[in-house]
Structure 1
Amino acid sequence: MSQKIGIIGGSFDPIHNGHLIIALDACEQFSLDRVLFVPAFQAPLKSKSPDASPAQRMQMVEKATEEEPRFLASDADYRFESTSYSVRTAATLKQDFPDADLHWILGADQIAQLHLWRDIEKLSEQVTFIAFERPGFKSTASPELPSHTRIKRGKLRQLDISSTEIRERLKSGQSAKYFLPANVFAYIKAENLYL
């Protein structure tokens, strides 16, 4: 029987407890065997580069995932050292895990934009999407999505944590201690990140 593997992509600048809780919810609601956290080398829809270097962001993801056996950091996007596209990430992970049933985990707000993703036709053949609803946001899939696109809806608990807020808190001298895994917070302090 093939493994059910979830994929969470993002800048992870920095990774925080919200990311980990979404991954845990995905494991429990959809019986995933594993969730891969894939830091984007450079996200295609973000004009500015992340504050932390690729190596620092990978270190933080490795630290954040080390205590949960179902979570794993993946360098699938870093191997190319260029703009990260989900379709290439999925193809790379399919080579790494040829028998896996891949599930791309995202916020439901992304569903309306999914038809704009690069090679969505091909990506929809490679993965099933798991979309977590956000409070106060009703998402609808675009009619422009390929007919074979598979979307499962997840129930997300109400959390209001963002990497942007964490960076702003650290830059202004506020604490972000309880927003992050303790070892990630310690790493950020040791590396003097986001000051």
Structure 2
Amino acid sequence: MLQVGLMGGTFDPIHYGHLLAAESAREQLGLDEVWFVPSHHPPLKPHAPQASGEQRLEMVFRAIDFQPHFRAMPIELEREGTSFTIDTVAALREQYPEREFAVIIGADRVNDLAQWHRIEELARGVSFIALRRPGVELDCASLPAYLRERLRICDMPQMGVSSTEIRERCAAGRSIRFLVPDKVRQFILRNGLYGA
């Protein structure tokens, strides 16, 4: 069975940190592919994304077009509404029964994993890959046993870049070169995203 990592997020915009995280998980844990799943509106983020779903998906396509093991999946954008992982995984498992899925999360999400929508049901169908992040302490011991046994930890080179920082740099007229793939940078500039 093919092993697929699911990397969800707003990708507002996607940047090299996202790509490095996906490649680290793929390489270290032997995943066949990583699928990037831009969310319509994630339940744990208070504000809607600044770029449209179509623009964010296009940036993902542009960012990963060189990587044969990466795919963009518009499933949450097509569904609209709040993006619950359980609904996405259920739909993907039905569409792709020959694949096993692992949800890739940052270390900061591990601590609230037990509060995710229908988490027990979700954990029966997927495993979780936690990526270490600078300054974030992994508190796996506080997780219920059913989550601890479904969680794998992945190391990745530290890269201090965030979508928030990129949006702020654009708004201030500062360069985002080398923070995002050049095709993404060109798309942001051409479309005047984030005040660029």
Question: Normalised by the size of structure 2, how large is the TM-score?
Answer: 0.95
How do residues 44-193 of structure 1 correspond to structure 2 at under 5 angstroms? 44-141=43-140, 143=142, 145=144, 147=146, 149-193=149-193
Distance between the aligned counterparts of 1:18 and 1:131, measured in 2? 14
Deviations 1:119-147 (A, max 9, x none): 00011011110101123332113645362
Distance between the aligned counterparts of 2:43 and 2:144, measured in 1? 19
Letter matched to residue 186 of structure 2: A
Instruction: Report what 2:30 is aligned to.
Output: 31
Instruction: Report what 2:194 is aligned to.
Output: 194
Q: Which secondary structure does the structure 1 equivalent of 2:138 belong to?
A: coil
Q: Which runs of 5+ in 2 are unaligned?
A: none
Q: After alignment, is 91-100 or 63-72 more displaced? A: 91-100
Instruction: Report what 1:5 is aligned to.
Output: 4
Structure 1 moving runs of 4+ over 6 Å? none
> How big is the alpha-carbon RMSD for the aligned residues of Structure 1 and Structure 2?
1.3
Structure with greater proportional helix content: 2
- The count of aligned residue pairs is 194
Distance between the aligned counterparts of 1:8 and 1:144, measured in 2? 21
Distance between the aligned counterparts of 1:146 and 1:38, measured in 2? 27
Distance between the aligned counterparts of 1:48 and 1:128, measured in 2? 28
Distance between the aligned counterparts of 1:115 and 1:65, measured in 2? 31
Question: Normalised by the size of structure 1, how large is the TM-score?
Answer: 0.95
Q: Which runs of 5+ in 1 are unaligned?
A: none
Letter matched to residue 75 of structure 2: A
Task: State the shift of 1:81 in Å.
Answer: 1.0
Distance between the aligned counterparts of 1:30 and 1:62, measured in 2? 24
